[in-house]
């Protein structure tokens, strides 16, 4: 009977020692980890910004302006019957400024309403829309530009200009990516500066025969 008690005590001591060593191992493992770990914020892709140099678009179109040399101008293939509709493509940034032109024929109100409607369609995804007057009396260029804010807004910038008698032109900036204007913010700001330059240098020309 005494032998049995000794064996039982020996087993209990071994179990207690094993439990202590296991707990100590867990404690050492936890303390060996870096308790100062801080999750890294979400990163965005690197953006290489080109230098700003401008080219003059001065052709047989009824308008002219300066645009950045990192952009390319192409006819709007979806509107073959509109010879003065063009796309200013920022391929490096997957962006396009769609430019549409219309000759006014006592229908300026119609074009103004169409332009307003295109901006209103963006309201559900926009956090705010700020408009600003375009007024260049010297060049007879008048209009509005719209800064459209919001992560999911499909178009962050639009504008229209007119001389109120003969010409009406509208521009809308889009990106061929899923809208995420937080990550695109540096690109949007960069391109908007060039669109502002386009507007500042914009002039009307005589309508071609």
If residue 102 lies in a helix (H) or strand (E), which one and from where to where? strand 95-103
> What is the predicted pLDDT for the residue at 10?
45
Split at pLDDT 50, 70, 90, the class of 180 is: low
Split at pLDDT 50, 70, 90, the class of 158 is: very high
Q: How far apart are CA 152 and CA 178, in angstroms?
A: 8
Q: Does domain 54-204 have CATH number 1.20.120?
A: no
Does this model's pTM top 0.85? My answer is: no
Domain segments of the chain as ranges? 1-38, 54-204
- 99 closest CA partner among 179, 178, 157, 186: 157
Q: What is the pLDDT of residues 73-130, one digit of tens each?
A: 999 999 999 999 999 999 999 999 999 999 999 999 999 999 999 999 999 999 999 9
Vertex 197 angle, CA 85 and 135, to 5°: 85
Token pair belonging to 166:
């003969």
Token pair belonging to 117:
């409607």
> What is the predicted pLDDT for the residue at 184?
82
């Amino acid at each position: 009977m005494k032998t049995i008690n000794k064996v039982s005590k020996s087993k209990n001591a071994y179990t207690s020692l094993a439990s202590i060593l296991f707990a100590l191992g867990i404690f050492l493992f936890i303390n060996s980890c870096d308790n100062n770990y801080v999750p890294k914020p979400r990163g965005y892709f690197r953006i290489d910004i080109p230098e700003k140099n401008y080219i003059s678009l001065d052709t047989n179109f009824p308008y002219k302006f300066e645009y950045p040399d990192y952009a390319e101008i192409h006819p709007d293939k979806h509107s073959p019957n509109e010879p003065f509709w063009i796309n200013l493509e920022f391929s490096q940034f997957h962006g396009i400024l769609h430019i549409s032109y219309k000759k006014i024929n006592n229908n300026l109100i119609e074009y103004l309403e169409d332009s307003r409607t295109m901006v209103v369609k963006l309201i559900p995804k926009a956090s705010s829309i700020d408009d600003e007057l375009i007024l260049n009396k010297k060049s007879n260029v008048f209009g509005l530009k719209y800064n459209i804010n919001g992560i999911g807004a499909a178009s962050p910038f639009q504008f229209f200009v007119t001389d109120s008698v003969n010409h009406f032109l509208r521009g809308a900036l889009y990106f061929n990516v899923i809208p995420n204007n937080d990550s695109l913010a540096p690109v949007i700001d960069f391109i908007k500066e060039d669109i502002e330059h386009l507007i500042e240098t914009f002039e009307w020309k005589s309508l071609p025969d």
